[in-house]
Amino acid sequence: MELATRYAELLATDGVLRGLIGPREVPRIWERHLLNCAVLAELIPIGTTVLDVGSGAGLPGIVLAIARPDLTVVLLEPMARRSAFLLEAVNDLDLAQPVEVIRGRAQELQRSSAGGVAPIVTARALAPLDRLATWCLPLASPGGRLLAMKGSSAGAEIEKYAAAVHRAGGAVPVVRHCGERWLDPPTTVVEIARLPERPRPGTRGGAGPRSVKHG
């Protein structure tokens, strides 16, 4: 709770000054941002690595690192001012577990990590599901999952972009509701498993891609 309170203060001060969150969000930082992200931990196994794509102000990546000291967290953010805030926040909070900040885009990380980066990839309010699947699923380890935080229109978005998700290598998306005991409404998450790599024509299956570890 002490770390969460310090992080909330960072968001309400430096986060607003740097334009990472709007001033109108300050009164609802806990409900709309911290708790909304923290309940995502219900879907994450113990002791795994989480890659937060387009981490922004650290939502949900830093929140998960605070709530779950057993996790290794990688924060991926392309914008300089945001990645600078993330580095400062990680240092200021002195988190117990490895938390790495990488400045870059998902497509760039894909090229250097063909076998995926982490078993769990998260994203919050980043892009429509078709683009999100293209950016994030290749960064999930084979058999890993994308957890995309979405709003009430998640079902309609799944229906619209189901074919694009499949082309990106994803299984059928599933809507999950996290924090139903604590939040009204609960956090809506679209969960997409990365399907195993299909053998190339003319091969006997070949060796699977190597996993790249961070942290």
What pTM does this model have?
0.89
Q: For 151-167, how does the pLDDT look when each residue is reduced to its tens digit (9 = 90+)?
A: 888 999 999 999 999 99
Q: The CATH number of the domain where 126 resides is what?
A: 3.40.50.150
- What is the rounded (10 degree) CA torsion for 57, 63, 65, 70? -160
Is residue 200 within 8 A of residue 166, CB to CB? The reply is no
Q: Which of 124, 155, 118 is nearest to 138 (CA)?
A: 118
- Backbone torsions φ then ψ of 152, nearest 5 degrees: -70, -15
**Domain range holding 7?**
2-193
Q: For 83-141, how does the pLDDT look when each residue is reduced to its tens digit (9 = 90+)?
A: 999 999 999 999 877 899 999 999 999 987 766 789 999 999 889 999 999 999 999 99
Q: Is the pLDDT of residue 61 over 90?
A: yes
Q: Which of 44, 96, 107, 103 is nearest to 79 (CA)?
A: 103
How many domains does the chain contain in total?
1
Residue 143: C-alpha distances to residues 4, 50, 51 (Å): 31, 14, 15
Within a domain: residue 210?
no
Within a domain: residue 199?
no
List the structure tokens of 85: 């805030």
